[in-house]
Amino acid sequence: MRPHPWRLLLLLRFHSRSKHLHIPTPLSLSHPLHPRHLSTPLFHNPSFRPFSSSVLSIEPKDSNHIVVLTDIFSKSSTSDEIKLELDSNNIVITHDLVARVLQRLGSAPDAARRFFGYVSERGSERLSSKSYNWMLGILGSNGCVKEFWDLVEVMRRKGYGVKKGASVRALERFEREGLGSDVEGLREIYASGSVDDSVEKVCSQVCKVVRGEVWGDEVEKCLRELNVSYSSELVSMVLGSLGSEPNKALIFFRWIQESNLFEHDEGSYNAMVRVLGREDCVEKFWRMADEMRGAGFEMARETYIEVLGQFVKRKMIKDAVDLYEFAMGGANKPSIQDFTFLLRKVVVNKELDMDLVLKVIQAFTEGGNVLTDSNVDAVLKSLTSVGRLGECNKILKAMEEGGFLPSDTLRSKIAFQLSSKGEKEEANEFVDTMEAFGSSSNNKIWASLVEGYCVAGHLDEALDCFQKMVEKEGGPCVAYAVELLVNAYCNKNRAMDACKLVIDMINEKQLKPSHSTYKLLTSKVLVQGGLKEALKLLGCMKVDGFPPFLDPFIDYLSKTGTADEARLFLEGMTVKRVPSTAVFVRVFEAYLKAGRHNEAHNLLSKCPRYIRNHADILDLFFTMRSEAAAATTCVAA
């Protein structure tokens, strides 16, 4: 019997040593075509149709999911509550994950029951022989005898054998509790040879034959002699075991159906797709994925995750995007988290390919999804991680095409990040773009730009940005930005420059600084000896209706201020005709406490009569004279 031509085609590509095969290849392989441009498939299948677009989903594997699942099923929760927690943590339950969670729940039978039952009700295909044996070991080792034997019966009907690990754990408990009949019953399972009929054992036998030599009549003969009854799980297991030899797996896949030994279903198709989801089989992968859909089957989320992970790992970003498009065109659409994950991988690729970015966004939005701030924020973090934040304008424009309009909070955050990273041109472009969107809070964006430049220590850029802000938004709207700028100038010991800027803006642009800005700037200017500038600020505070800030003036005068300077300050404090007596008292107290009696007398001589004759003022000087006289007497004695 001569092998079918399609198997020959695979063999000729797979084995150059196939010298005994002399049948000419029916199709030239020198110029392989991408599946999207094929009019006919490589292996004929009447249900095959040209590439369209299909299902799938993405999720990076995370060992923390084991911990999360353990916690979820350790509590008594309803199915809806469990589903909500799984979705919120973006957890996909796979064969491997089931086994690892059960392994962790070995000493918690109640939690293990809940988990095993939940998976069984919603996706029994995810419960492999390995998972059944873990559950069996948990029941046996925890003394759940009746449940143990019930599960053994279920496994027998499924063709699963009891593995040594589960048997040993159960035997230890049975023997310890003196359950003689159960011990004998478990031993009889092995004596009957039921383990030899397990799916794993049969899989091993089939794989041994397939791997033994180059596919041909002898291999097919040996497979028939095994007299195997192929189930979906067995076929999937064989294909997975042959994963390192994808061409042999594909030949086996075709042979069992063509030989009428098995009619492929969704499980076996998915297993074959997972095997082909690798760099050296990508063309076959796309053909098989499309054939699967043409046959009416969907790609499982588990398959999508595994294949996408391989594509991303191998930097096959274009194929990863095509896979996402394929998935969004099917019934099992990827989640929002999947979209964000993929888009982040696209933007950190070696070169930013905006065509791929647009394809992902278009597939996402055409699938009925809406772009949100959190999606964009995650992508911007990825851009920042590879030093490409300046490219954010391109991403935002692509998002805009998908109907996205960033919130004022996100706009402010982006503005700050751009300016704090010194991306001046990109920051200006960003502002222009945002103004084109239209916003009632553009002043917040400008303030964030000023803040970013201040944080970066780029005061010239901060000032330039602030002046543009004043021109566009008006003086009364920029109080917060003024404070940021004043703080930055003061931190650079440039309080005088900041004071001049503020005074000019007040006079020319009707700037209205906050009270805290006035107080900070006044203190810093006086430290640098700028009484005249501080007095100008004092006058502006009065005009804006803020109470005067006396402390820094009093401190300055007590240490270095002259009587004339004190008089200027007191005149600046005038509300109607003269300042309150309390202010005079504080100034005199400060002079006398600092021991500057001469300046106190000089100031007193320049004061109006009602101040010189005021009882509180007279008391201050009388006390000062009495203390001085007492000190002189003590010295003389």
Query: Is 476 exposed, middle or buried, given 0-12, 13-18 or 19+ CB atoms closer than 10 A?
Result: exposed
CB 470 within 8 Å of CB 511? yes
Q: When comparing pLDDT for 243 and 77, which is higher?
A: 243
- CB-based contact 273:303 (threshold 8 Å): yes
DSSP one-letter code for 389: G
Task: For residues 598 and 586, give the distance between their C-alpha atoms in angstroms, rounded to a whole number.
Answer: 16
Q: What is the pLDDT of residue 120?
A: 86
Of 4-8, 262-266, 396-400, 430-434, the poorest mean pLDDT is in 4-8
Q: Which long-range contacts (CB under 8 A, 24 or more apart) does 116-121 make?
A: 118/73, 118/79, 118/82, 119/93
Q: How far apart are CA 422 and CA 387, in angstroms?
A: 12
Structure confidence at residue 288 (pLDDT):
96
Mean pLDDT (whole number) for 454-476: 86
Give me the percent of the chain exceeding a pLDDT of 70: 84
Going by C-alpha positions, the residue among 197, 283, 220, 299 that lies closest to residue 246 is: 283
Res 527: pLDDT? 92
Q: Which of 270-284, 340-354, 566-580, 608-622 has the lowest mean pLDDT?
A: 566-580
Residue 372's pLDDT is 92
Average pLDDT of 266-284?
Answer: 94
DSSP class per residue in 24-66? PPSS--SSPPPGGG-SS-SS--TT-------B-------THHH
Give the pLDDT band (50/70/90) at residue 578.
low
What does the block give as tokens for 268? Answer: 């076996």
Q: Residue 577: its pLDDT value, please? A: 57
Residue 46 has pLDDT above 60, yes or no: no
418-438: per-residue pLDDT in tens? 999 888 889 888 888 787 766
pLDDT bucket at 632, cuts 50 / 70 / 90 = low
CA distance 431 to 445: 8
Task: Give residue 35's pLDDT band: very low, low, confident or very high (50, 70, 90).
Answer: very low
**What is the average per-residue pLDDT within 554-576?**
85
Provide mean pLDDT across the span 489-499: 93
Name the pLDDT band for 273 (thresholds 50, 70, 90): very high
Chain-wide mean pLDDT for the chain?
82
257: number of Cβ within 10 Å: 16
List pLDDT tens digits, range 347-389: 999 888 999 999 999 999 999 999 999 998 999 999 989 988 8
Measuring CA to CA, how many Å separate 605 from each of 254, 280, 564, 594? 113, 99, 11, 19
pLDDT-derived band at 49, boundaries 50, 70, 90: very low
Tokens encoding 363: 């597939």
User: How does pLDDT run across 155-201, given as a tens digit for each residue?
Assistant: 877 777 788 788 888 888 888 888 888 888 888 876 665 555 577 78
Q: What average pLDDT does range 386-393 have in this prediction?
A: 88
Q: CB-hemisphere CA count at 13 Å for 264?
A: 29
pLDDT, one tens digit per residue, over 527-551 is 999 999 999 999 999 888 898 888 9
Structure tokens that stand for 590 in this block: 């400060």
pLDDT confidence tier of residue 52, bands split at 50, 70 and 90: very low
- Other C-beta atoms closer than 10 Å to the C-beta of 612 total 14
Say which residue the tokens 């599946």 belong to. 35
- For the cut 80, the answer to whether the pLDDT of residue 103 exceeds it is yes
298, pLDDT greater than 80: yes
Tell me what pLDDT residue 627 has.
64
Residue type, 579: P
Q: What angle do CA 114, 93, 248 make, to 5 degrees?
A: 130
